[in-house]
Amino acid sequence: MLLRRYTHDHADELPALVARLAPGSVWPDAGNRLVYEHFRPALIGDAPSATLRETVDQVVERAVLAGARGRCSRLARHRFRARVTRILCAELAARRARPSAKPADLLDVVAHAATGRTRDADLAEVFLSCLFAVAGSVGFLLGWSLYLVGTTVSEPAHPAWVVREALRLWPVAWQFGRTPSREHQLAALTVKPTDEVVVCSYLVHRDPAHWSEPDEFLPGRWASGTGQEAFIPFGWGPHACTGAGVATQVTETLVGLITSAYRLDVAAPSSQPQVSAALAPPWFHLRLDPFSLPEGR
């Protein structure tokens, strides 16, 4: 997968992005912007036209950041969406017209995945969903991980446990849907193919039948292995998230880089999550104080 390869090949660029967070940054926006900046070449190429780059940058600022949609009128959002769709459709058509041996970025993948009857507007939506997943969901996961470490953890914890526990306590994709393929019993309910079943990972992850101290952030609970049946932050089954590996890998790397180099100081005016289609952390200011190096280094 393109993003997986990119993550592997460009991991050495992450420390420079992390260094720019010091001495202070405002979250969760800082996380969304950092993740987007890292993955931008994988999404739209390393030399996009000025129009394409500005447009996709604006999508992140106006639609991906927590609360951004509420800052524009419905009419402005509608006009912006129409312009974004028009520009992405033109880009997709241009890329399809160019023969390419190997896709260079996600737009290429989407453009060449089209069959004769696929509308470019639908392909543009697919690209935007991926942009939201990368810059939005991964950025929020990074934000939750640092917020929770900064507000609750006194002992250093393994980055992989931190990220898993953040996904359990505050699953960014807090609900997802299923259409039953046949009529069957679900607890006391009969569900039919005409129903839509909503699975709420937030509730599953806090069920005391499956988790001890479910409301506590306890990264150490993951020390004994990964086999947790009631852990579904990336969905379940044949339609589970295809980006789960990339999302956790890059977040673990970033959490490791930040927590090993800096002491975190989180100041949050409220502890309320920002709830929309995604579950974003509260606004917080993050101050990073570098650990002093031992004498002589």
Is the Cβ of residue 184 or residue 263 nearer to ligand HEM in the bound state? Answer: 184
Give the nearer residue to ligand HEM in terms of CB position, either 3 or 266.
3
State in angstroms the smallest separation of the CB of 295 from ligand HEM. Answer: 40
Q: Establish if 236 lies at the interface with ligand HEM (CB under 6 A).
A: yes
User: E strand or H helix at 233, and its extent?
Assistant: none
Q: Indicate the residue among 22 and 253 with the shorter CB distance to ligand HEM.
A: 253
Collapsing DSSP to helix, strand or coil, 185 comes out as strand
Smallest distance from ligand HEM to CB 167, Å: 7
The tokens for 103 are 């896709």
Task: Please count the other Cβ atoms lying within 10 Å of the Cβ belonging to residue 126.
Answer: 17
Would you call 184 helix, strand, or coil by DSSP? strand
d(CA 286, CA 288): 6
State which residue, 88 or 141, has the beta carbon closest to ligand HEM: 141
Helix 29-44 × helix 50-59 angle, to 10°: 150
Q: Which is nearer to ligand HEM, 161 or 236 (CB)?
A: 236
Q: Cα separation of 253 and 264, whole Å? A: 16
Quick check: 152 binds ligand HEM (CB under 6 A)? no
Q: How many angstroms separate the first and last alpha carbons of the chain? A: 40
The SS3 of residue 60 is helix
Task: Find the binder of ligand HEM among 234, 262, 283, 284 (CB under 6 A).
Answer: 234
Binding mask 163-182 for ligand HEM (x = CB under 6 A): ---------xx--x------
Q: Which residues bind ligand HEM (CB under 6 A)?
A: 3, 130, 133-134, 137-138, 141, 172-173, 176, 233-237, 239-243, 246-247
